Structure 1
Amino acid sequence: MIERDNEALSSGIAGQEPGTRGRGRLRDVSRSLPIALLRTREAVMRQFRPALRSVDLTEQQWRVLRALDSVPEIDATGLAMATFLLPPSLSRILRDLEKRHLISRRPDPADLRAWVISLTPEGRTFIDAAGVPIETIYTELTERIGKERLDTLMQLLRDIEQDLNAASTDEDDGAPEEPAE
C-alpha cells in the first residue's frame, strides 16, 4: 500500500502528468528539492546503518564522533552547528558517549557555563576501528556511483550550499533543524 502510494506521488497524481499539479501553485512532490534530497540521504544512509549498528552507534552519535575527530576540541555550540543537531539532542548524545568513555567534557575556561568537548584516546581508537567498515562502504559507493560522478555531486552540493547561504536574507535564528532518524 505504502509503496503504491509513494509510486503515485513520484509519477503524478490521479492521471496528471508528472511534475504538474492541477491547482498550479505547487510543483508535484516528485519535483520537490527537499524531498529529493531526503530520499537520496535515506538511500545513502541505508548503506551505512548496518556498520553503525555493528558498533552500537546511532547516526547522530557517529556524526558527533566524526566532527570531534576533525578538531582537537570544540564547544557545544560549535559542535551542534557542525553536526546539525539540536542542543537537547546533542546533550543526550554527549552524555551517552561520555558514559562509554569515547569523549570527555570539561568546563570552558573562558565561560564556565559552557563545555569544551574532545575525543578521549579510547574514542580515537574506536573511530579508527569503526572507520574501517565505513571506508569500505565509501569504496563500494564510489564503485557503484563512479568517482567522477561522486566528486561532481560533492562539488555541486558544496556550491549550492555556499550559494544559498550567501543569498540567504531570511531572519533565520541559525539553529540547525535535526534530520529525522
Structure 2
Amino acid sequence: MARPTPSLTLALMQARESAMDFFRPHLNRHNITEQQWRVIRILWQSEDQTLESHRLAKLACILPPSLTGVLVRLEQNGLVERWKPATDQRRLCVTLTGKGNALFEEMKVEMISQYKKIQRALGEEKYRTLMSLLKEVQELNPDQLPSDPDT
C-alpha cells in the first residue's frame, strides 16, 4: 500500500506551533492567552476598534461559544466592552477599551520584533512568498473547485 501524501493541515498546525514559540513568552509575561491576543489585535486593527461578535469569532478563528469565555475574561480585565446596539438587541458588539488599546500599544513593539526575527530567519523573499501562499489557501473554497476526476 502506498504511503499517503503529507498532511497539509498537520503541516500548517505544526508551522503555527513553531511560529507561536516566538510569541508565547511575551504573551505569558503579560498574562494574555493566544486567543485573547488575537481578539485584542483584531479589534485594534478594525476601523473603529469595534466588531460584531460573530465576525470577530470568524476573524479570530475561535468558535462562538469559546469566544464568549474569552470575552468575559477580557471584559473582567477591562480590556474590552460588550454591548448590544439599541437598533438590534440580537447582535452583540465588542469594542476595545482604552486599557485594551494601551496594552496592545505596549505589547506591539515586542511582537513586531518577533515577526522581524521570523522574517530574517526565512529571508524577505521567502517570507513574502509564504504570506502570499497562505492568503491563497485562506481564499480557497472547496465548493467552488472542480472535483477530482480520479475520485
TM-score using structure 1 length: 0.74
Distance 2:56 2:128 in 1: 26
Greater C-alpha Rg: 1
Return the match for 1:99 from 58, 76, 82: 76
Listed one character per residue, the Cα deviations across residues 128-175 of structure 1 (whole Å, up to 9, x for unaligned) are 00111111101111111111111110011112222x22x4259xxxxx
CA RMSD of aligned residues (A): 1.6
What's the counterpart of residue 104 of structure 2? 127
1:1-181 mapped onto 2 (5 Å cutoff): 22=1, 24=2, 27-28=4-5, 31-71=6-46, 72=48, 73-162=50-139, 164-165=140-141, 167-168=142-143
For residues 87-140 of structure 1, the C-alpha deviation after alignment (integer angstroms, 9 at most, x for no partner) is 111000001001111111111223213211111111111100011111110111
Unmatched 5+ residue regions in structure 1?
Answer: 1-21, 171-181
Q: What amino acid does structure 1 have at the position aligned with 2:75?
A: E
AA aligned to 1:99 is: Q
TM-score by length of 2: 0.88
DSSP-derived class of the 2:28 partner: helix
Distance 1:42 1:118 in 2: 28
CA–CA distance in structure 2, aligned partners of residues 123 and 66 of structure 1? 10
2:43 aligned partner, one-letter code: L
3-state DSSP of counterpart to 2:95? strand
List structure 1 runs of 4+ shifted beyond 6 angstroms. Answer: none
CA–CA distance in 1 between the matches of 2:66 and 2:34?
12
Q: State the shift of 1:63 in Å.
A: 0.5
Percent of residue pairs bearing the same amino acid type: 34
- Structure 1 partner of 2:148: none
Give the Cα separation in 1 of the matches to 2:117 and 2:144.
40
Work out the CA distance in 2 between the residues paired with 1:120 and 1:161: 30
For 1:91, give the aligned amino acid. T
